[in-house]
Amino acid sequence: MRISIISRNGSYLGLLMANTILGSALPMTIIMAGLAGLMLAPSTALATLPASLSALAGFLAAAPFSLLMGKHGRKIGFAVGGGCAVYGSLIGVWALFTGSFLLLCIAHLALGAALACYQYFRFAAAETVSADWQPVAISLILTSGLIAAFVGPQIFIWAKDALAPIPLAGAYLALAALSLIGLIPLALTKLPVPTGGPPQSLKQRFASLSVLKRKPVRLAVGLGAVSQGVMVFLMVPTPLAMIGCGFSEAVAGDVIRWHVVAMFAPSFFTGFLIKRFGVQPIAIIGLGMLIVSSIGALSGLSLVHFYGSLVLLGIGWNFGFVGATTMLANTVVESEKAVVQGANDTVIALVSTLSAFAAGAIIAGFGWAVLAAVSLVLLLVASVVFIKESRQIA
């Protein structure tokens, strides 16, 4: 099979377009959660709560979305996710007009659920190609995040004062419009409707989770959780840490922009590297980059340190996350997908939630350097375990 067959795959291209538009919510949500939280929170210690609740919603919504897609198809699931984004964005506008921190938290719960739903685009992409091209399909679907990295922050800059004198309200309204637009290519894309669906009884679903006992599956889930968790742990408090160091909101937003670019730009070649060298070497390189990122964050508080550590954080996440997704896609059969993918993304979302809450507490109580040191220790332990376990299944 040649790579050109992917470019002629209508289902894949439709998913790519929808993911590009809907995925622009990610950098916008990161920026808005921190800034709106800082503006409306009753104390600075609660400023990261909207971002943390967004991660919590992802944890709660991951498995239900997977089961919904397993029963009714990917298209229905993604449409529900887009609806959550529209709802959350409009609640965010309401929160800013009324000055309600509670409503802001509700808004980011809905937005977090939507972002959890969008994570399944990578699995949907893998289902449109043959097994040997799955790493490439997964990797390339993530390139849509590169466009989102530029489009999302730029839309935020253009729209944040559109409803002046209420700051940031225009950005939430723009996110609602963007989410509606993203549903258009999805509606025009033909995706298969599952014939059997996931196990219906609770007993059957728990029985299906026995696949998690297989070492390759456990290793894939663990790699994805570590990559995502460390990325969230360092990324979420970055705007607050930078503002605390005297940098402007615009500069903090630009650091997040280039972090998101680094998350997705490698996707143009990550899949080909995995296809050429294997998934485990690329995953180990990714873990190494995450370690260097933590060392960079620990080394100083200059603009160079923030840019450098966040860029390396993005690249390391890409190698680890694409590697984990590829490993999981290669180790489960069709009948296991809905339950196992749901369990995988639930674990990842749980780790993300814990990371977001922990990051907020540590940055408020101990500072950026302690945050970086904790991430470094966790990564060193995880890397040793991954290398040891991967050698046993090689």
> Which tens digits make up the pLDDT trace of 49-93?
898 888 889 888 988 998 898 888 889 999 999 999 999 999 999
Pairwise CA distance, residues 394 & 390, whole Å: 6
Q: Which residues contact 64 (CB under 8 A, 6 or more apart)?
A: 342
Both tokens of 22, joined, read: 């809907």
Pairwise CA distance, residues 312 & 306, whole Å: 10
Q: Find the distance separating the first CA and the last CA of the chain, reported in whole Å.
A: 26
Closest CA to 375 of 238, 272, 229: 229
Pairwise CA distance, residues 57 & 384, whole Å: 31
Pairwise CA distance, residues 222 & 236, whole Å: 21
Pairwise CA distance, residues 32 & 35, whole Å: 5
Closest CA to 222 of 327, 112, 377, 145: 327
Both tokens of 348, joined, read: 């990842």
User: Which band of pLDDT confidence, cut at 50, 70 and 90, is reported for residue 1?
Assistant: very low
> Under a CB-based contact definition with an 8 Å cutoff, are residues 221 and 341 in contact?
no
pLDDT tens digits, 229-268:
999 999 988 888 888 888 887 788 788 878 988 988 888 8
> Under a CB-based contact definition with an 8 Å cutoff, are residues 72 and 265 in contact?
no
Q: Which residue has the higher pLDDT, 376 or 151?
A: 376
User: Which band of pLDDT confidence, cut at 50, 70 and 90, is reported for residue 191?
Assistant: confident
Instruction: Write down the pLDDT at residue 205.
Output: 54
Pairwise CA distance, residues 159 & 14, whole Å: 27
> Under a CB-based contact definition with an 8 Å cutoff, are residues 66 and 339 in contact?
yes
Instruction: Write down the pLDDT at residue 206.
Output: 53
Peptide linkage before 198 cis (omega within 30 of 0): no
Q: Distances in Å between the alpha carbon of 119 and those of 104, 162, 381?
A: 23, 30, 26
Closest CA to 48 of 339, 298, 340, 364: 364
pLDDT tens digits, 6-51:
555 678 888 888 998 998 888 889 789 888 998 999 987 788 789 8
- Alpha-helix residue ranges (DSSP H) falling in the chain: 4-7, 10-22, 25-40, 49-72, 74-98, 101-118, 121-126, 134-141, 144-159, 169-187, 202-208, 215-235, 238-244, 249-264, 267-277, 279-299, 303-329, 337-365, 368-393
DSSP 193: P
Q: Which residue has the higher pLDDT, 197 or 143?
A: 143
pLDDT tens digits, 282-339:
999 999 999 999 999 999 889 999 999 999 999 999 999 989 988 887 777 666 777 7
Instruction: Write down the pLDDT at residue 152.
Output: 86
